[in-house]
Structure 1
Amino acid sequence: MPMLLKMLCAPLVLIGLLTTPALAQSDAPFRLIVTHLEPPLVPNSVMDLAVSLGYFAREGVNVELVRVQQTPSALAALQSGDGEMANVGVDALLQAIAAGASDLRAVASPNKSLPFLIAAQNAIGSVDELAGARFGVGRVGSLDHSLSGLVLETLGADIEATQLVALGQPNVRAQALMAGQIDATTMSIGTWISLPETDTLHVLVDQDAYYAAAPLINKVNAVPGAVLRERPDDVAAVLRALIRISRDFAADPDLWVNAMAAALPDTDRGVLENLAPDFASSWSVNGGMSAAALGYTASWLYGTADFAGSAMPPLESWVDFGPVDAALASLGVTQNQDPADR
């Protein structure tokens, strides 16, 4: 090659190296275990949509979603080697680590806190009026029971003054509320907007007030120590993809609406358009790993009945900031949303 041509090509090669994302390290599938059977109507949908929209592929990592029902199944699959990463509840992760799964680490939170609200019959005008009312929970002592108790306590009410009714999953509680079998319950905003009939119901505590009263990280993506040691570049590539798609949805909510409409063609587009603005501040644009929020979450959990008598572990025994910091080193940090405090 003539010297002049070499000189002209060299800057182009350098530009290509600087602008092309670092490829992951393995062609082997990277199995991401999720606890939903289709993209959910919450920011956690980024994991599904990063597959369908090619975000993982552009980072050079071959992600396959492994779908199971509920966190216990996800943790069991992760520990048995049926996946490299799993999206699980923080409470269940801490319980698993306390039971001996000491090599698991939280590395990201694509959906820091599910957008919960408390819905009630129209006759319940304020949280003060919940005293004596029938309040639906998953089970007495469950996370939703404890979390709603924290919210109501912060707002000056007492969940223990209600008649607690154990009904199981949120969709069952929502149906019971519509049928007038209970007076109030906690559910996600997606469940609320999807209800076919709400004329006799209203939002008693909206999602912003709920999160302000209980600023907890609900779910995290956990990885075994062997995966962190053997496939660190793949883990970082997965997190880069999730951060990129979260930032794109935060910048343009219509992108999420269009992607979800394609993924769930039977869903009313109007529901998606109503949901999108409510997620404006919910996207994990820096990976969702605030040290302060994670510490607060663990501290609160260890004060609940499920952790009675257990000593709270230090943050470094269940969280590894290394992978998300590696992703942010190439992407930069987005300010004023999703704190990247360490």
Structure 2
Amino acid sequence: MHLKRLAALAVMSALAACGVRGTETHPDGTLSFSVAVTEPDITTVPILAAVDAVRQAGHRVEVVELAEPELAIGGLAEGAYAISAEATSPALSAIEQEAPIKIIADAIGNQWAIYGSSKLTCDDLDGRPFGIYSRGAVATAMTEEWVRTQCTGGREPEYLTIGGSDVRAQALVAGEIDATALELADVVALERSGGSAFAQVVDFGRTLPDLRPQTVYANADFLTEHREVAQLFVSALVREHAKINADPRHLVGLVAKYLPEEDPDDVADIAARSVKAGLYDAAGLTERNVQATIDFFVRAGVIEPGMTAKDATDLSFIRAAA
């Protein structure tokens, strides 16, 4: 995600905000509205299951698939979409520009970690090729903070912009880079490709446990005008996460239903590790960890100081769901 583009988009979105124009109330009291998702993957399927629960209550919900979270943020601010879930930083950028958006639940915890060609220290990576998605990506921000705090004497790696996690994992296998930050699914794929000799350098889920890189957010007017339906969605999402934590096979089943092209063996491994790491906890969002997330993105230069968790969130829905 590119910070200048995000800032410009957030300003335009705030100026374009015009209520919940994408929502229609029917004579029987049911609603029609849209939920935006970005390139659905294993982290998205509990949200799709929650959408189905809302549909079962009689509401008509369209799921719109988008290529980038910025597009979802723009649609949320304009009222074209009621709910979305993806990267937290563009939502915070839009909120900073007074776009009518509120973070309402956690999507998935911090699953990022740096993997290297061997067990490396930060200093070992000085001047060495390190694969990143972009300079504005959240994984890059985590990496840069780790470098600032852990490398000595101004040492830092040579950052190479390569692309998605899967491409960077392949570059690591090919020896084109010495290290990169990966999500859990790509770690599993790396290991299954014969990359088990590679080692975890740092687990950001442990070093930055309060950082919430991916959250669920909604149009603020939708939350006000259609509170019961918003609550229905959040409660359903909290239930889905609880089912996953009770039995990782529930996540495997959701992926088989919504993303049948995924390898079931990979999914089973990812699900087990996700539950062990406590990644699925929609109701685990608190003012404390939201403020820690805001503070991180201030340090990363994504937003200016001054925003509070109360500015960015409406946690009443997860409190009611719990």
TM-score, length basis structure 1 = 0.77
Deviation at 1:61, TM superposition (A): 4.5
Alignment match, 1:326? 320
Following superposition, the deviation at residue 267 of structure 1 comes to 2.5
Counterpart in the other structure of 2:42: 41
Alignment partners' CA distance in 1, 2:58 and 2:238? 15
Matches within 5 A, 1:145-160: 145-152=140-147, 156-157=150-151
Kindly indicate whether the alpha-carbon contact (under 8 Å) linking 1:138 and 1:166 is maintained by their aligned counterparts in 2. Answer: yes
Of the structure 1 ranges 57-66 and 70-79, higher mean CA displacement relative to structure 2 is found in 57-66
Any stretches of 5+ residues in structure 2 without a counterpart?
Answer: 1-27
Across the aligned residues of Structure 1 and Structure 2, the Cα RMSD in angstroms comes to 2.4
- Cα-to-partner distance string for 1:50-85 (whole Å, 9 max, x where unaligned): 34xx43345554433211112111111212322111
Asked if 2 retains the 8 angstrom alpha-carbon contact of 1:30 and 1:83, the reply is yes
Amino acid at match of 2:316: G
User: Match of 1:198, SS?
Assistant: helix
The answer to whether structure 1 residue 274 and structure 2 residue 275 are counterparts is no
Check conservation: 1:139, 1:145, Cα contact below 8 A: yes
Which of 301, 310, 318 matches 1:316?
A: 310
1:131 maps onto 2:129 in alignment: no
Consecutive unaligned residues in structure 1, runs of 5 or more: 1-24, 329-342
User: 1:301 and 2:302 equivalent?
Assistant: no
Q: 1:144 touches 1:186 (CA, 8 Å); kept in 2?
A: yes
- How far, CA to CA, are the matches of 1:26 and 1:219 in structure 2? 32
Match of 1:331 in 2: none
Partner of 1:74: 72
Corresponding position: 1:264 with 2:259: yes
Per-residue Cα deviation, 1:150-208 (whole angstroms, up to 9, x for no partner)? 34556x336951111122332332232233221110011101212462337513236xx
Rate the CA distance shift 1:50–1:194 in 2: closer, same or farther, 3 A: farther
Contact persistence 2:165–2:182 (CA under 8 A): yes
**Aligned CA distance change for structure 1 residues 61 and 139 (closer, same or farther; 3 Å):** same
Counterpart contact for 1:111–1:219, Cα < 8 Å = yes
Q: Provide the rounded CA distance (Å) in 1 between the counterparts of 2:250 and 2:60.
A: 23
**TM alignment of 1:199-218, pairs within 5 A:** 199=195, 201-205=197-201, 209-215=203-209, 216-218=211-213
Distance in 2 (alpha carbons) for counterparts of 1:160 and 1:167: 21
1:106, 1:320 within 8 Å by CA — same for their partners in 2? Answer: yes
Q: Distance in 2 between matches of 1:176 and 1:120?
A: 11
CA distance in 2, matches of 1:228, 1:264: 29
Q: Which residue in the other structure is 2:165 paired with?
A: 170
- Residue identity (%): 21
Q: Identify the residue that residue 288 of structure 1 maps to in structure 2.
A: 284
Q: Partner of 1:205: helix, strand, or coil?
A: strand
Q: What is the deviation of 1:125? A: 4.0
Could you give the per-residue CA deviations for residues 70-115 of structure 1, whole angstroms, max 9, x where no partner exists? 21111112123221111132211121122341x21111112233x1
Greater gyration radius: 1
Once residues 234 and 313 of structure 1 are traced to their aligned partners in structure 2, the CA distance between those partners, rounded to angstroms, is: 28
In structure 2, the residue matched to 1:27 is 30
1:255 aligns to what?
Answer: 250
Residue 105 of structure 1 is matched in structure 2 by 102
How far apart, in 2, do the equivalents of 1:47 and 1:238 lie? 9
Count of equivalent residues: 290
Q: Deviations over 1:260-314 (max 9, x none)?
A: 23433332221112112211111115x231211101111121112333xx23212
Matches within 5 A, 1:205-244: 205=201, 209-215=203-209, 216-244=211-239
- Matches of 1:143 and 1:276, distance apart in 2: 23
